[in-house]
Amino acid sequence: MIVLPDGTKRRLKTTEMFFYLAFSVILNSLANGLTIATHLGSAVWTASAVNLETQISWNLSLILLVYAIVVQILNVIIRRHIVWSLVLSNMLFALCFSYLVQAGNQLFTWIGVAQLAFGWRLMLDLIGICFIATAVSIYQRVNVMLHPNDEFSYLLRFRFFHGNAALGQIVSYVIPVCIMGYCWLKSGQLHAVGIGTLFALVCQGLIIGWADRHVFARLQHRFKQQKTGQLSS
What are the sequence ranges of the domains in the chain? 2-223
Structure confidence by residue, pLDDT tens digits, 159-184: 999 889 889 989 999 999 999 999 99
Return the SS3 of 70.
Answer: helix
Residues 6+ apart with CB under 8 A from 171: 153, 156, 160, 161
**For the residues 136-141, what does the mean pLDDT come to?**
92
Whether the Cβ atoms of residue 108 and residue 33 lie closer than 8 Å to each other: yes
With beta carbons less than 8 A apart as the criterion, state whether 148 and 75 touch. yes
d(CA 173, CA 151): 13
Q: Which residues contact 27 (CB under 8 A, 6 or more apart)?
A: 131, 132, 134, 135, 138
Residues 107 and 3: beta-carbon distance below 8 Å? no
Convert the pLDDT of each residue in 15-72 to its tens digit. Answer: 999 999 999 999 999 998 999 899 898 888 988 998 999 998 888 888 988 999 999 9
Asked whether the whole model's pTM tops 0.85, one would answer no
Residue 225 has pLDDT above 50, yes or no: no
